[in-house]
Amino acid sequence: MKTSRRHFLKISGALASLLPLESLAFSPAKSITKPLVISTWNFGVGANAEAWKILSQQGRSLDAVEKGVQVPEADPTETSVGLGGLPDRDGRVTLDACIMDEFANCGAVACLEHIVHPISVARKVMELTPHVMLVGDGALQFALANGFKKENLLTPDSEKAWKEWLQKAEYKPIVNIENHDTIGMLALDVHQNLSGACTTSGMAYKMHGRLGDSPIIGAGLYVDNEVGAATSSGLGEEVIRIVGSHLVVELMRQGNSPQKACELAVKRIVKKQPEKSKQIQVGFLAVNKFGEYGAYALQKGFTYALYSNEIPNLVFEAKSYYNS
């Protein structure tokens, strides 16, 4: 599975380099590109493929994003999402996730332990409770009461990495750790409805209880079915500071293309934190109601995967503010 996926990534990467990115990202929408799914980082390819099974059968974007992000959540070799995620500094794997649909329904869980698919618990919070977010023990109790299985998410490899980290116990955010981070996914279905999902184990070796942007509606994810949807990856604190995904959607509402909206949001981070922004990574993805999309990051190296009828699940690298 891993080998063939790597092979596919290699092929898709090579194909991507042949495609005129500018024209893909900026061509005016003469018609609506749907269905479409876009997700953060190279591991978005496997997630998109799962989402596409639903989208290509005229399914709902909400179902597509949930099933899509479950792929890296269940992959023990992905150390920044779900099972196998790197733990906090106390050795506990704590997961953050949120989901949002075309009706502005949303659900989230934060600091959730022992559950492989936090995204599905977030969906249950959305569908079965009058609340938007459950955290910690409350989220776990809710998950168990709704049939989720309690599991050990700390794999031997992640435990080994944590024990090595403990020798120095230094915490510094590192740009593009292992070239991936949160998976954020946005989908537009054939009914022209948007949904999004975002899920992560958060910063490796964080303080216990630390939340990033990913479970926060408006920060790590936002969907407005009249306008568009956005998601983020990278250092969550800086995304929360500007309520990043909501900002991107509001910038699209003001008439900006998804690409321009992502650029303006990244520039807002630079303006607020000029020195810090040189050392950290944040990337945004956005899609509008017409299936136009955009991506932009602080630093080079932020990749995303795109699947539509025209673009068969290829990986692209976003433009960036620094070093581009």
Give contact residues for ligand GLY (rule: CB under 6 A).
181-182, 200, 202-203, 212-214, 233-236
In the complex, minimum distance from the CB of residue 265 to ligand GLY, in angstroms, rounded to a whole number? 14
Question: What does the alpha-carbon distance between residue 94 and residue 80 come to, in Å, rounded to a whole number?
Answer: 11
Q: Is 77 designated active site?
A: no
In the complex, minimum distance from the CB of residue 25 to ligand GLY, in angstroms, rounded to a whole number? 23
- In contact, 12 and 313? CB cutoff 8 Å: yes
Q: What is the DSSP string of 116-179?
A: S-HHHHHHHHHHHSS-SEEEHHHHHHHHHHTTPPP-----HHHHHHHHHHHHH------TTGGG
Closer residue to ligand GLY in complex, CB, 113/181: 181
Closer residue to ligand GLY in complex, CB, 158/257: 158
In the complex, minimum distance from the CB of residue 66 to ligand GLY, in angstroms, rounded to a whole number? 19
Closer residue to ligand GLY in complex, CB, 111/235: 235
Give Dmax over CA atoms of the chain in angstroms. 57
In the complex, minimum distance from the CB of residue 146 to ligand GLY, in angstroms, rounded to a whole number? 24
In the complex, minimum distance from the CB of residue 22 to ligand GLY, in angstroms, rounded to a whole number? 28
In angstroms, the Cα distances linking 7 to 13, 14, 42, 140, 188 are 10, 11, 12, 37, 27
- Burial class from Cβ neighbours inside 10 Å (0-12, 13-18, 19+) for residue 145 reads exposed
| Catalytic residue of the set 182, 200, 231, 303 | 182
Question: In 3-state terms, the chain is what percent helix, strand and coil (to 5)?
Answer: 35, 20, 40
Q: State the amino acid at position 251 in one-letter form.
A: L
Give every strand in the sheet of 221-224, ordered side by side.
Answer: 221-224, 228-234, 282-288, 293-297, 319-320
Closer residue to ligand GLY in complex, CB, 126/219: 219
Through-space distance between the first and last CA atoms of the chain, rounded to whole angstroms? 33
In the complex, minimum distance from the CB of residue 118 to ligand GLY, in angstroms, rounded to a whole number? 12
> How far, in whole angstroms, is CA 4 from its chain's centroid?
23
Closer residue to ligand GLY in complex, CB, 140/235: 235
Closer residue to ligand GLY in complex, CB, 75/181: 181
- In contact, 73 and 83? CB cutoff 8 Å: yes
The set of catalytic residues is 182
